[in-house]
Structure 1
């Protein structure tokens, strides 16, 4: 098994929906583009990520949304060294189809009170649903490591909630731990690094907005 030395998770750059939530009333979520600022964010992130990968090969997985495709393209990777696949299981949490701004704002307030993991949008998914499909993706990812020539780098271009749930699933975090963490900013990334003990560790933690609730399993 050729496990990669690093797995880089990056959130898409700023999109139209990040600056104007009325756009969801007119455009499908998956079709929203990066703003000019979002494009610059992705380009700047690409400078550091290209330096991180150097001359090594990369296996890349990209959410099927337009803004994640645009983010991947803006990273400016040398495509001679990259194998890229569109991966629908890494998509954004589904909120339904076209969305009424006031209704979504109300539902987000309910979600904040109820909990981001368990709250289900009326016509969409809960965080738990996203967790399940991220888990299915991880099974496929681990099978890919069985190839003896698997690249030493994996790049995953996705969304903020999906990044946190990926790490929750990978590191077996509790629901309370997940709930205490903030989304990364636009075009921010985290790296899972393979240590000498055969375990992966995050290069830096997610910011917290609160301390985890002290309930649940204690070991």
Structure 2
């Protein structure tokens, strides 16, 4: 088994929807591209990634959304060193349809009260649903490590919520821990590094917006 030395998670650059949330009323979420600022963020992140990877090979998995593909292209990674696969399981939390602004604000208020992990949008997904598909992807990812020539680097180009849920699944964080964490900023990275003891550790934590509130004790 050839486990990678690092697994890098990247949130896409600023999208049109990040800059103006009314666009969701007339454009599908998956079709929204990057703003000029988002392209600049992605290009800056790409510079850091090229320095990090050097001349090493990289196995890349990218969400099927337009903004993640545009982010990946802006990285300008050497095509001779990367293997790119589109991975639908790394997509954003689905709303399931076009979004009405007033309804979105109402549902988000419900989600804040109910819990970001368990609340399911009326026509879309809950955080728990995203967690399940991220878990299925992780099973596929671990099987890929069985190849003796697996690249020493893995790069996931995805979304903020998906990044947090990936780490929740990998590090076995509790629901309370997940719900205390904020999304990374656009173009931000988090890296799981393989340490000498054989464990992966996160290079830096996600910011907290509150102290975790456990639901109870186990045992």
TM-score, length of structure 2 as denominator length: 0.98
Q: What is the alpha-carbon distance in structure 2 between the residues aligned to residue 174 and residue 217 of structure 1?
A: 12
Which residue in the other structure is 2:176 paired with? 176
Give the Cα–Cα distance (whole angstroms) in 1 for the partners of residues 215 and 30 of structure 2: 37
**Structure 2 matches for 1:1-219, cutoff 5 A?**
1-217=1-217
Distance 2:2 2:112 in 1: 41
For each residue in 1:55-74, what CA deviation from the matched residue of structure 2 results, as whole angstroms up to 9, or x when unmatched? 00000000000000000000
Q: CA deviation at 1:186?
A: 0.3
**CA root-mean-square deviation:** 0.9
Over 6 Å off, 4+ runs: none
Query: 1:83-122, CA deviations, whole angstroms, 9 ceiling, x for partnerless residues?
Result: 0000000000001211101101110111111110000000
SS at match of 2:80: helix
Aligned with 1:150: secondary structure?
coil
Residue 218 of structure 1: how far off its partner (Å)? 5.5
Aligned length: 219
Query: In the aligned structure 2, how far is the partner of 1:207 from the partner of 1:141?
Result: 26
TM-score (norm 1): 0.98
TM superposition shift of 1:217: 4.1
Sort the Cα spacing of 1:217 and 1:82 in 2 relative to 1 into closer, same or farther, 3 A: farther
Shift of 1:209: 0.3
CA distance in 2, matches of 1:25, 1:107: 15
Q: Structure 1: where are the runs of 5+ without partners?
A: none
CA–CA distance in 2 between the matches of 1:139 and 1:217? 28
Question: How far apart, in 2, do the equivalents of 1:107 and 1:215 lie?
Answer: 23
Question: Secondary structure of the equivalent of 2:94?
Answer: coil
Query: Which whole-Å deviations, capped at 9, do the CAs of 1:145-198 have from their partners, x for residues lacking one?
Result: 000000000000000000000000000000000000000000000000000011
Partner SS state of residue 80, structure 1: coil
